[in-house]
Amino acid sequence: MTKSSRLVSLDIFRGITVAFMILVNTPGSWDYVYAPLRHSEWHGCTPTDLVFPFFLFIVGVSVWFSMKKYGHELHGDSLLRIVRRTIAIFALGLFLNIFPDFGRDYSTLRIMGVLQRIALAYLIGTIICITVRRDYLWIVTGVILLLYWALLAMAGGEDPYSLGNNLVLRIDKLILGEKHLYTAFGIPFDPLGLLSTLPAAVNVIIGYYTAELLTKKSTAVKNIFKIIFIGAGLTGLGFLWGRIFPINKPLWTSSYVLFSSGLAMMILAFIYWVADVLKFRSWGTPFLVFGTNALTSYFLAGILAKVLHTVKTGGDTDPVSLYTWFYEKICVPVAGNLNGSLLFAIIQVMLVWGIALILYRRKIFIRL
């Protein structure tokens, strides 16, 4: 593969990730969700917990290709590109938090979110990648992860990794304010907060490093085996580190970063071998539809879900959201509560995929 060619495997992997992000975020009912499609309650890792770090890893891979035209250096043009993209993605995330209640009480608006985390991790990760010498990237990565571990361990008291007694929560309360945090954990706590964005940037950095490995002047097989070897090492190291610094998505612990990044490296290496080396790509075409308009697809899915929650049916006497009505009246009679909830999520994925397909066929690729 030449350095100028596009990685089909990257678009496929990105598309798979976006599809699963939509799937796990839009069940018919949160009371009926298969265990693998739920997040861990606190410590631990389910397949669903891997989706977001995989996407950040993919962001890092994309950064390597997008920064080539800037010489992988930080200067006026590259900085402007980075800042503009960060602001655009962060703004879209805020818009999703507000939509459609534009007349809401903004004193309780949640500031952070998925797109906001992507924006800030992209900003931090990209600047590190293009300012730090390649030979030192792993050192910087290690310092960030060890420093984060030390901060949480020393500032959390007797139980530093608990929900109500962690430094991530304290920092967010101090800077963002308690009223601007996520509340689904039973207390104000944002699993996509400020401090935990720092280790999340490491997922981006590892993705960047992986892209460089894939495009090295060597045989594809050698590059693939090297990535699989490093990925297996990171996964194992993350698992072992998790014995003392638990694998935890809400806190985005250092062990979680290594565990998820290692798995992402191995998965990308396998898809690269199949799609870019063997040229067996037909199976991945449906995912290319999502992968070539990833952020747009995720944004549209968020808008669709909120519209369905907002539109009411049943009249004034017994109003129910169109979201709930479709699940209870269409999906449940067809497949039951549990499978009906999954069916609803699949339908959401297909609806967004249909929109993305129109863009794909018309060669409309929205770049932020």
Instruction: Tell me, letter by letter, the H, E, C secondary structure of 245-276.
Output: CCCECCCCCHHHHHHHHHHHHHHHHHHHHHHH
CA separation for the pair 21, 34 (Å, rounded): 15
Residue type, 143: V
Per-residue pLDDT of the chain (368 residues; tens, 9 = 90+): 444 457 899 999 999 999 999 999 999 999 999 999 999 999 999 999 999 999 999 999 999 999 999 999 999 999 999 999 999 999 999 999 999 999 999 999 999 999 999 999 999 999 999 999 988 999 999 999 999 999 999 987 789 999 999 999 999 999 999 999 999 999 999 999 999 999 999 999 999 999 999 988 878 899 999 999 999 999 999 999 999 999 999 999 999 999 999 999 999 999 999 999 999 999 999 999 999 999 999 999 999 999 999 999 877 777 899 999 999 999 999 999 999 999 999 999 999 999 999 999 999 999 88
The pLDDT score that the predictor gives to residue 155 is: 86
Token digits for 100?
């459609």
pLDDT for 3 equals: 40
CA atoms within 13 A on the CB side of 327: 26
Give the 3-state DSSP-derived string for the chain, with helices as H, strands as E and coil as C. Answer: CCCCCCCHHHHHHHHHHHHHHHHHHCCCCCCCCCHHHCCCCCECCCHHHHHHHHHHHHHHHHHHHHCHHHCCCCCHHHHHHHHHHHHHHHHHHHHHHHCCCCCCCHHHCCCCCHHHHHHHHHHHHHHHHHHCCHHHHHHHHHHHHHHHHHHHHHHCCCCCCCCCCCHHHHHHHHHCCHHHCCCCCCCCCCCCCCCCHHHHHHHHHHHHHHHHHHCCCCCHHHHHHHHHHHHHHHHHHHHHHCCCCCCECCCCCHHHHHHHHHHHHHHHHHHHHHHHHCCCCHHHHHHHHHHCCHHHHHHHHHHHHHHHHHCEECCCCCCEEHHHHHHHHHHHHHHHHHHHHHHHHHHHHHHHHHHHHHHHHCCCCCCC
Best CA proximity match to 125, nearest among 144, 112, 150 = 144
Residue 4 has a pLDDT of: 41
Q: How far is CA 330 from the centre of its chain?
A: 30
Among all chains, which residue has been given the structure tokens 């009223």? 179
127-138 confidence digits (pLDDT tens): 999 999 988 999
Residue 160: both structure tokens together = 């530093």
Nearest-angstrom CA–CA distance, 182 and 147: 25
pTM for this predicted structure = 0.95
CA angle 59, 253, 136 (to 5 degrees): 60
* CA pair distance 309, 60, nearest whole angstrom: 34
- Residue 49, CB-side half-sphere exposure with 13 Å CA sphere: 22
Q: What tokens appear for 114 in the block?
A: 């998925």
- In the prediction, which pLDDT does 5 show? 56
